[in-house]
Amino acid sequence: MESPITNSDIFFHLYEQIKGGATLRQVLQDFGGANIYIPSYKSVQRDEDIWEDYQNLLNKHFPKKHIMLSLQQKYDLSEQHLYKILKDKRQPSLF
Residue 27 · residue 17 · CB < 8 Å: yes
Mean pLDDT score, 70-77: 97
Question: In the chain, pLDDT over 90 holds for what percent of residues?
Answer: 67
Give the pLDDT score at 63.
96
9-46 pLDDT tens trace:
888 999 999 999 999 999 999 999 988 888 889 888 99
Helix, strand, coil distribution of the chain in percent, nearest 5: 65, 0, 35
Give the DSSP letter string of 12-69.
HHHHHHHHTT--HHHHHHHHTT-------HHHHTHHHHHHHHHHHHHHTT--HHHHHH
Give the pLDDT score at 94.
63
pLDDT at position 50 over 70? yes
